[in-house]
Structure 1
Amino acid sequence: MDFKIMSFNIWCGGVTPERVAKVFAAIEKYSPDILGVQEATPQWMEILKNRFTDYEAAGIGREGGDEGEYSAIFTKKARFEQLAEGTRWLSETPDTFSFVKGSLCPRIYTYVKLRDKKTGEIFCHINTHLDHGPEEVRMKQARFLYDFIGSIEEPVSVSGDFNYEESTSEVYKYFISGSLSDSKYLAKTRHVAPTFHGYKELKNIIDYIYVTSNGFEVKEYRVVDELFDGEHPSDHNPVVITAELKR
């Protein structure tokens, strides 16, 4: 049965009532079953948890505990049971606060192992935010993430702000050289648009949802580039896919 995954960098700054309302509107319009957020500060996490009480949240801050930005995952309680969850650092020591040399910030990924209450099927979703510094740093982080993915037996989906463009990045090539595929190229229907605009005329695609192609059928891919009450809700446009697990 179909379900929706949304990746949404909600931007850590500018937490005004007006912008919060636009973020709510974008999420509620597309009503994802799985929501991966990036740049979610503790303030944003409290706001999201208080609003979306029908979701179960997973994740900790990148500074440890409730400190720093989250790469959190929200899953609809009515649809999925969280069998396991955790947050790890993209480094040589993933279980403790750490980061690779050259990274401008500590970087993390959050994962949830999910059981679909409608079908009984099990898969893993991962949400992350790679560094915005040198490409070689992102490559190291990507390798750490792939090491973890390789340990998972079930199908895997990965959402995030990856801070690279597919046309110029060796990290993108690395990601799709293994078990993962870019969901927009698997989708039967798609609406492709820039995912990062920075409230300017920037036209970059740096946010992705990857899936193991032998585990998922992707029905639709969409970048939510519409305006809400006349404005973008964030400096990134959300990415939404509709998919189902292959049997």
Structure 2
Amino acid sequence: MLDEPASAAPAPMRIMTFNIKFDDAGDPRAAWAGRRAAVAGVIRNSGAGVVALQEVLAGQRDDLAADLPDYTVLGVGRDDGARAGEATPLLIRSDLTVLNAGTFWLSATPEAPSRYTDGALPRICTWARVRAHGAPAGPGLHVWNVHLDHLDESLRRRQLAVVHQRAQTAARAPGPAQVLLGDFNAGPGSATLTDTRRAGWEEARRASRTRPAGPAGTFHDWIPDAALADADARIDHVFVRGGVTVHAHETLQPTSAVIPSDHFPVVVVVDVTVPA
């Protein structure tokens, strides 16, 4: 478990990103019935107040809402803006207040279910602005959860540009403190991550005040040992901006008998400086 900073002001917050793999009944490794308890256990044991998930079908959302009653599940399916298709939900623990939230599409028409014409699938961003109970009044922390295209770098860059534009607007009002995280389907040296840095984001792994812990990679394709030393397999990322201090960064390696997913989750510990 990651160590939190000693100071109680401002209060630290644990945030996790985790691609849980969609329920694929045709693949015994990915069938949800055999992994449900393991995935819920990873989330529960992480201690994260904000959990960003990817590849979540409606039934999986329902099950996690039942298994994790301390969390509110936010998000919609990408196919119809309701229950159809994968979602990128945010789970917000009950000690945090959701100030507002929503989902938009990573396309030329973000307000409606859609995709770029050269995209194989619709892609979405689910976001929320949260504040800890008892925290000083202010704009809170804006969290953006993405799952980008798995095939085309150019498309990933265009998809993420939609998020960058929204984040830039949000930085002016309601406030600058933001976290961008999820499955980027892009490694450390990719143009997608270069664009993200140029847009004003800092990688939490690099910004961490303590040495990053855990495996070098995050995608292991059901063979966990494959990603332990493979930095090119690090496709799940956390970025911060606007007064967010990163105290710790860890790629978790679950130790349950059941492999929860084909990705490792990533957890960061942050605090937010409230503007004067």
**Pair in the same fold by TM > 0.5:** yes
Deviates more, 1:186-195 or 1:123-132: 186-195
1:83-94 to structure 2, matched below 5 A, reads 83-94=99-110
Instruction: Indicate the residue corresponding to 1:102 in structure 2.
Output: 118
Instruction: Indicate the residue corresponding to 2:218 in structure 1.
Output: 195
Match of 1:207 among 231, 236, 243: 236
Instruction: Indicate the residue corresponding to 1:148 in structure 2.
Output: 166
C-alpha distance in 2 between matches for 1:83 and 1:195 = 31
Match of 2:206 among 179, 185, 200: 185
C-alpha distance in 2 between matches for 1:50 and 1:42 = 13
Residue 43 (structure 1) shift: 1.0
Give the count of matched residue pairs: 243
CA deviation string 1:1-36 (max 9, x = no partner): 011000000000323443112112211211210000
Q: Contact 2:104–2:126 (CA<8 Å) still a contact in 1?
A: yes
C-alpha distance in 1 between matches for 2:76 and 2:69 = 18
Task: Return the letter of the residue paired with 1:181.
Answer: E
- The SS at the match of 1:102 is coil
Q: CA RMSD in A?
A: 1.4
- The SS at the match of 2:60 is helix
1:1-247 to structure 2, matched below 5 A, reads 1-12=11-22, 13=24, 14-64=30-80, 65-78=82-95, 80-120=96-136, 121=138, 122-153=140-171, 154=175, 155-167=177-189, 169-189=190-210, 190-193=212-215, 194-200=217-223, 201=226, 203=230, 204-212=233-241, 214-229=242-257, 231-247=258-274
Q: Contact 2:127–2:143 (CA<8 Å) still a contact in 1?
A: yes
- The SS at the match of 1:24 is helix
C-alpha distance in 1 between matches for 2:186 and 2:261 = 18
**Which consecutive aligned stretches of 4+ in structure 1 deviate over 2 angstroms post-superposition?**
13-18, 200-203
Deviates more, 1:66-75 or 1:14-23: 14-23
More strand as a share of residues: 1
C-alpha distance in 2 between matches for 1:187 and 1:134 = 30
Q: Contact 1:84–1:113 (CA<8 Å) still a contact in 2?
A: yes
Q: TM-score, normalised by structure 2?
A: 0.84
Any stretches of 5+ residues in structure 2 without a counterpart?
1-10, 25-29
- The SS at the match of 1:171 is helix
Percent identity, please. 26
